[in-house]
Each structure stands twice: as C-alpha cells, then as structure tokens.
Chain A
Amino acid sequence: MASPSPKSPEQSEKNKQYDRQLRLWGDHGQIALEKGHICLINATALGTEILKSIVLPGVGAITIVDDCTVSEEDIGSNFFLETSSKGLNRGSETLRLILELNPAVQGHAVQEPTGQILQENPDFFKSFTVVIATALGEKTIKELSQHLWDINVTFVLGRSVGFLGSFRIQIKEHAIIESHPDNEQPDLRLDVPFPALSQYLDSIDIETLDLKDHGHIPWIVIIYKAVMKWQKIQNDNRWPMSRKEKNEVRDLIREFIRKDENGIPINEENFEEALRAVTTALCPTFLPVKIQDLIYCSAATNLTKESSPFWIMCSALRGFIEAEGKGKLPLRGVLPDMTASTEHYVKLQNIYRAQAAFEAEAVYRKVQEIINQLHCDCISEADVKLFCRHAHNLHLVRGSSIASEYQSGPVASYIARHLEEPDVMMVHYILLRASEMFRSEHSRAPGDWEPEGDIAILKACVSKLLTDVSCPPFPKDDHVHEMCRYGGAEIHSVSAFLGGCIAQEAIKIITKQYKPVNNLFVYDGASTNTATFTF
C-alpha cells in the first residue's frame, strides 16, 4: 500500500531538538533566549554547571571572563576540563569544551582579571543580558555589583563552599507578563455577565431541557441558574458570599438533578462538576490589589519617551479599567474544561473569546494613543493581547543592590531580625560572607591547610559582620568550625545543584517568563534545606 503523503510540514530540526523545553516557554521564549548574552566570571565548577544548563537550551552567546590557570583541583571538580587542560587558561579551556554541547551558541573568552576590566573598560559589561559571577573576592563583589547596578545590567552572584551555597540576584526592575502561576482562578464574570454572556445564559431553561441535553449543559450555566433561583427565593439581588449561602446554592443545584422513575437522582457528571465548582465560580470579579498598585505607580502614571512597553501597557490598562472596564480587568477569555456537549462548550468558549478580543482591542487603541503622544516605538497588537490575557497575573520585581548588604540600613536590620529568630539559613549566609572576608584578608580560604587554627580568625570575621548588623555574637562556634572543615572546598554535587538553579533563574530573566528568586537563595546540602530571603 502506498504511503499517504502528508500535507503538513514536518517540524524543523531546531524545533525537534528543543521540543521538550518549548512546551515550557514557547517559541517566543526561545526567540528571547537566543537573543540573550550571558557573561560568566570565573569558570569554577559552579560557573560551568550554570553555563551547561544555559548552553544546552540554546542561549544566544556566552562570554567567560577568567584569568586563572587550570589546577588539579579544578579538573577534579569541573567536568568541562580535561587532564590536558592543566596549566592553561581556565576560561578558554572550559569554553572549548562547553561549546561542544550546542553548536548554535556563540562563545568568547576573556583572560583579563575582572578588577582590571572594571578599571580600564567598564563599558565591556554593557553588552550582556545577565552577568553571573562565582568565587569572587569581597572587593570585586562590591565594585562589580555597584557598577552593574549603575548601568542596569542584571547580576547574579553565586557561592559554593563545602555543603553550603547561595546565589543573590541583583536586578533593578523586572516585569513579568507570563508568570505561569500553578493555580489560576478562572475569570468567568458570572456576577457581572457581559451582554453576550447574559444573552446566552438566559437562552437556556434547565427545567424544560430533555434528559440528554440536561446532562450536557456546562456547569457555568447550572451555577448561574442556581444563583438566579437563590436570588429569587431571597428576593434580593445580592451575590451569595458566605459559606451558608454557597451551601444553599449547592442545595438548589441538587434540586436541578433529574430523578428516575423511582425518584432516585440520575448520575449527571456536569451537575457533579457544578457542585465541586461552586466555590471558584462564585468568587466575585475584582481588581487585585497587586495590579491596582502596578497601574497607579509612578512608572505607569508618569510616562516618558523612555518608558518600557510594559509601563505603556500598564498605563493603557489603567485607562481601560477606569473607562470601559468599569473597574475590572479585561476579560481573560479562557474557558476551563468542563463536561458539556460540543455545541454548548464551543459556543460558550467563543462567547468568552470574542469578548476578550473586543476588550483587548480597546486596550490596544489606548496603547496606540499613548504611543502617538509620546512618539515612542510601536507595540504590536499580539503583544497587547498577550498582556491582557495575563493581566491578572502581572508581576513586578524591584530589587536592591548587593552593595546595600555591605552598608548599615534596612538590609542590615533585616539580616539582624532573621539572626535573632535564629534562622540557621541566615547563619549560613553570614558564614559565606565571613569566609569571603577571611579570604580577602589572608589570601586563602579558612581551613585551607588545617581547620582548627583558623577557627579563631574566622570567628573574628563573623563577629565583625555581626557587629555591622548590630547583632550579638553566635553562642556557639559549631558553624564556624564546619566552615573551617570545608577549607574552601568546592563539592561538585553542591555546585551542580546551585548551577541548575542559577541557570534557570538566568533563563527566567532573559525570557521574562516565570518568577525568579527574590533575591537571595541559600542551600545547605548537608541538611537538604533551602531558604529564600528578600534583601
């Protein structure tokens, strides 16, 4: 038998290779990723593990800045080095072996020390989407983080010592349209139905439907009818809110269920679903405070020619909410799946979709008005539609600089509060900081040669840090002792854990999808404990 020839085109090679991740961030996420350029400072085990999980999914380009030569310990913990790499530049060697993972990625290696680049060519960092650094000295951390804050380039600082590790994301402002929440509340508008929805809901009479149709009407209709009946009984146009009222609605839904000749209720799946959906469906339509704050903040109300598309769309959104929207967000236009006949479901889905398109169009018109006034770059209708569809879950991150961790102020008192609790994960952060201070003073890691002798010196560093945040010294030396035991060792599996996390954070930032850590993450591989702090 001859093969039926397919009309549809086969997927491209690239789509096949990236298929499993395109299902997470879509083609537009992939396009954004391929425009991203990552700079890694220091190709340690942690550094290369980060690069691995960014190069594999196909970031546009990477640049490694590293002036170290490869040591035997490097070869023991960094998979992207070979025995023959010993004595060569660590960044160049790592780059060569990591680019093998994905020929589509561009790569560069820079052998100058970071401090020197900061001095002589600070504009070097302007071309990167994200700068990631590992095993950085205290002085460079302060200088680099300040510089990247000033030029508004996102910075991620990773640390990995023994079983401990952390990363800190420094980002001034990061707006996320597609935050991909796990559980999204459906946007049904049963309490404030738009005309097309009202018309459809009113066109159905549950009582007179034949049995087959009765088992195929969507639960949206069932719940709406039950509420109408409830309001009639109450002789009140209130929306049922309390648990008691919702239970009364449920009782009315049960009354709708048809009975057989013996008076036993017939099992109708759509009515079962309606009973389960009462709580979500009766949730009244409202403008979330988070979104309200966003559209009335000064970035959205005082637009300039330099305002980003996000803020222009926020401003247009505010215009819509204050006018046509009557205080509500544009309709999302997504109908959850529910038992129904094809006809009912598709019809209802089209009603929601048409209304959402109509409202998004209104927002788009407002965007165009703003653009005409400001003479700034165009925003496509598709972008505005995407923005409106996700308007319920817009997310904005406003971060703080890493330099602020080294100054007295709100960050210091935040650290102090967690140390008073006492939060062991914050203690780990202090120890990671203290060992950096030790390193800057003694040019080696605490416990590098032998642990016991360094305990007192590291303890002094800890005390200094604690004094800076106005905290009493730790009652016990155990964490100081443990840090000296590590002796600055970088353990591959600990770095691989953090490397995977940091890589995904960088991808989130480049694609502007999913929420990144805000803004310090601490990991203890010994106790399998993690924590997030917001400085």
Chain B
Amino acid sequence: MSSGEVQTAEYLQRRWLNIRKLLERSGPFCHPDFEPSAEILDFTMNSCKILIVGAGGLGCELLKDLALMGFKKIHIIDMDTIELSNLNRQFLFRKNDIGLSKAKCAVEFVNKRVPGCEATAHHCAIQDMDDGFYRQFHIVVCGLDSIVARRWLNGMLASLLQYNDDGSLDQSSVIPLVDGGTEGFKGNARVILPGMSACIECTLDLYPPQITFPLCTIANTPRLPEHCIEYVKVLQWSKENPWGNTIPLDGDDPHHVAWVLEKAQERAMKHGISGVTYRLTQGVLKNIIPAVASTNAVIAAACATEVFKLASSCCVNMNNYMVLNIADGVYTYTFSAERRADCVACSNSTKVMALESDATLQTIYTKLCEDQLFMMKSPGITTIINGRNKTLYMSSIKSIEERTRDNLKKKITDLGLYNGAEILVADVTTPNTITIKLNVIENLDVDMPS
C-alpha cells in the first residue's frame, strides 16, 4: 500500500460518495443538533469504535453493513466455531471454514473485501472480557441468540454508568446498545441508551416464556412426539448410558441423535404416537430455532442504520423498539418501550425486596427466579453479618450447594436477616453482584400486643 499522504484522504474518496451525501448535506428531517460536514465520516472511519457481539446470522450481516456504512474500527466477539447448518445464512463462511472461529473468519473476509476496513476478531466468550474492554467502545451492537448472554452484556454496559454528585447521570459514561434478535420470520431491533431509555432488564416481559414439558407428562402420559424424545433425553440416557458413564448426550453427535431417535420411536410406537423424525429429534435435543437469511438481513440492516444515526447524529434514532414479521406480508411496528424505575440493571436506586416476617430463604430464592424484576437462573445469595461474608445459598458449586441447602427451609430471621438487612446476589444473567435491601413487613395476622 502506498502512503495515505499522497492520496485523497479516504473519507473524501468517491467510493463513499453515497454516504457523504447524507453526511455533508443538511435536510429538513435531520437531527436538530446535526451539523453537516466531511469530518463526520472522518470520525466514523477513524475514531468511532464499534463492538459487534456475535458473529452468527446477525453478526455476519452487521459486519458487512457497518463496513459499507463507513466504519473501520470494528471489533467482533464470538466464542463459536462454524458448522454446516450455519451456511444457509452466515454468508461470510464456506464449507472449507467449518470448525474455524466465526469471529476470525468473518473479520478476515470483510477486511479483504472492503479496503481500509480494520476489523478485529475476539474468539472468546463475552464473559471473558472485563469492563476495561467494553469501556473502549462508542457503540455496542448485539446480535445474539441467547437471552442470558444478552442480559449479561446489558448488565455490563449498565455497570459502566457513572453518576454525578447530585445523582444525575454522567452522559459521557453512556455506551449505546443496539440490539437485534430473530426467530424464523420474526425479529426485533431496538436502541438502548443505558440509564436513559428502557434496557433489556426493564423489558424482560417482552421475551416469551420458555416452553417446558412437565416431568410427569414425559414419564407417565406422553401425547406428543416431543414428549417421547424428552423422555429419552431426560430419563433414558442417564439410565442406560449407551456410550459409557462419562459421556453426556451431545445433540451435535449424529450417533447420539440416532440413538435417541431410535429409542424415542420405540416409545412412541408403544403408545401409538406418530411423528418422531430425525429432524424433530434434533430440534428438541438442541432446542433449534428456525432461521433464514432474509430475516437476519432485515434486522441487521435496521440495527446498522441505527448505529449510523448514533455515530453521525444525522437523524433521530428509532424510539425505541421495532418488531418485524415477514411471514404475512412485511409488517413492522415501532413503539417506545418504557424504563422501569426500579430496574435491577439500569436504575441508580436501591433495590428493595418486600418480605413477610415468616418468609424463608426459599421465599427469597423463588422471588429472584420468578419475579419479573429479577428472572434469575441460579442465584447465589450471600450477606454480611458482623462484617463477615456469609454464604446463604449457592447452587452453582456442588459442595457449597450441599452445605447450604438446609438454609432454604429456614426462616430469614433465623439466618440473621432483619428489616433493612442487605443481601448480595450473583447470577449468570448479570456481571455484577446485586445488592438488595430487605423490607420485612410484620405479618398482619399476628396479634399485636395492645
């Protein structure tokens, strides 16, 4: 490459003329603060750092879209490797790439195709990176299929927020999060300004509840082919251990899938149930969500447009949540999702849990898992008593779980908790420990001494 000094600066090149028209001209519908200039493209190219989370169906599209919208300093993070079933939509990968890092392959392809693009790959889990890593970015775009990972990332960006002495938000600490998700022909795209607009945790009720089959149905009264497959997965595998005691069921191993299929078909036959197929078996074992190139392209493009608006201020952002359905015509609906004043992730207020005085630790645990405000997966609960850390319950480590299991039945007062006491909660859905103040209400049934 010849030195850039003698050539036209890249942001003035003809190649970018399409985008330059939008950035160097003003219009009647621009953002009120928008000042058209050539420097905006210079900023998006040479200063603005973007993180793409996920290099799958959405991530591949996002990387291409953003590279062609003039962004050069793009990082992309994904721990996954390429599989054959990705190739119907993850267009930066070929059959030769199967088994390689998605992030690395995607970056290599786009850097080669789009001259000047300086994308960087991180082949690791998002949890492997610390706050220092995330703090370097101007904007984060997220194209994940996991709700837990999305919540963790949201929590990370919320934890970077800083507040002034008067309690007001320090705007310079806000890193916008543009989030996309797809499932079959449906999708959504949203813009989150942590601490300012609704975040992922504020709107947990927008995620549909997971479909689970009750164990008694699977074991005793199967009706659907899915019930037969679940039976083999949940009960029969561990009983028969077909590949030996130490080998867990792997939905990606065709021999395992074939074994489950055969056993599930036997069970289905016995009960007169039809419809156990290879495709269904694999779908149930791996919890497969249908996916197609087009939906990912549309949602990623909507996210990329919002990133472009955020970086350039050329236009106001969507406010703030768009749903898409392309199964029946093409339908979109954009609405303003509302913040929760008591949001666990993005509010600066003290989190409070109301409890009756006869509540047990189990009551707290259940609230953490089922209350719309928390919806945690396996919360670990500790507290500080007389300046010392005390683990009340933790299920993630087996030895601690066994040691603390009995605490669940105990009344909170017997565990040294009282009105105003604080518990510290850790969970996979958040990078930080959450402090919750207990508000113990005297049980109204109790006879008050007169």
Contacts and interface: CB of A to CB of B under 8 A. Distances in A.
Contacts of B208: none
A120 interface: no
List 6 A-B pairs, minimum CB-CB distance, nearest first. Answer: A6-B258, A500-B297, A496-B301, A500-B298, A76-B15, A497-B301
Given A77-B18, A83-B115, A497-B302, A17 B315 contact: no
A420 interface: no
Contacts of A526: 29, 315
Nearest to B315: A526
B280 to A, nearest CB: 9
Contacts of B16: 76
Contacts of B288: 19-20, 23
Contact of A525 (B94, B272, B305): B305
Interface of B: 13-19, 21-22, 25-29, 61, 64-65, 68-69, 84-85, 87-89, 91, 94, 113-115, 184-185, 217, 221-224, 242-244, 254-255, 258-259, 261-262, 271-273, 278-279, 282-283, 288-298, 300-302, 304-305, 308, 315, 318, 322, 326-332, 334
Interface string A1-29: 10110111011010111111111100000
17 contacts: A21-B290, A23-B288, A57-B292, A76-B15, A82-B113, A163-B22, A339-B217, A482-B28, A486-B22, A490-B18, A491-B22, A493-B301, A500-B301, A514-B327, A530-B330, A530-B331, A532-B329
A24 B292 contact: yes
Given A3-B243, A342-B221, A345-B223, A485 B27 contact: yes
B279 A504 contact: no
A118 interface: no
B84 A493 contact: no
Contacts of B272: 342, 346, 350
A17 B221 contact: no
A50 B326 CA distance: 15
A52 B91 contact: yes
Contact of A4 (B259, B261, B298, B332): B259
B295 A216 contact: no
A17 B84 contact: yes
Contacts of B242: 4
A21 B292 contact: yes
Nearest to B328: A515
Given A7-B258, A18-B88, A20-B292, A489 B224 contact: no
Contact of A501 (B271, B282, B298): B298
Given A21-B291, A23-B279, A72 B88 contact: no
B244 A163 contact: no
Given A76-B16, A102-B87, 14 more contacts: A6-B259, A7-B258, A20-B289, A21-B291, A23-B279, A24-B184, A53-B297, A162-B21, A478-B28, A485-B26, A493-B308, A497-B301, A499-B301, A530-B332
Nearest to B314: A526
A63 B25 CA distance: 37
Interface in A44-101: 45, 49, 52-53, 56-58, 71-73, 75-77, 79, 82-83, 100-101
A487 interface: yes
B17 to A, nearest CB: 5
Contact of A504 (B255, B282, B295, B334): B295
Given A8-B261, A345-B223, A346-B271, A492 B69 contact: yes
B244 A1 contact: yes
B224 A494 contact: no
Given A7-B258, A76-B18, A485 B326 contact: no
A216 B217 CA distance: 11
B258 A56 contact: no
A79 B64 contact: yes
A340 interface: yes
B330 A501 contact: yes
Given A8-B262, A77-B68, A501 B279 contact: no
Contacts of B222: 342
A3 B254 CA distance: 12
A79 B64 CA distance: 7
A489 B27 contact: no
B255 A3 contact: yes
Contact of B221 (A82, A216, A492): A216
Contacts of A493: 65, 68-69, 301-302, 304-305, 308
A447 B28 CA distance: 14
A100 B301 contact: no
Nearest to A350: B272
Interface stretch (A184-192, A429-437, A516-524): A516-524
B315 A163 contact: yes
Given A19-B288, A57-B293, A481 B27 contact: yes
Contacts of B243: 1, 3-4
Given A6-B262, A342-B221, A501-B294, A517 B301 contact: no
A72 B18 contact: no
B254 A10 contact: yes
Interface in A338-354: 338-342, 345-346, 350
A500 B296 CA distance: 8
A511 to B, nearest CB: 12
B268 to A, nearest CB: 10
A192 B259 CA distance: 44
Contacts of B282: 19
Interface centre among B84, B223, B291 (most CB of A within 10 A): B223
Contacts of B22: 162-163, 485-486, 489, 491
A507 B294 contact: yes
Contact of B85 (A8, A20, A345): A20
B29 A49 contact: no
Contact of B18 (A73, A216, A451): A73
Given A52-B91, A56-B91, A58-B88, A340 B221 contact: yes
A430 to B, nearest CB: 16
A505 B94 CA distance: 26
A521 B68 CA distance: 25
A515 B329 contact: yes
Contacts of B289: 20
Contacts of B322: 528
A5 to B, nearest CB: 8
A516 B272 CA distance: 39
Interface centre among B65, B113, B293 (most CB of A within 10 A): B293
Interface centre among A71, A100, A528 (most CB of B within 10 A): A528
B376 to A, nearest CB: 27
A494 B305 contact: yes
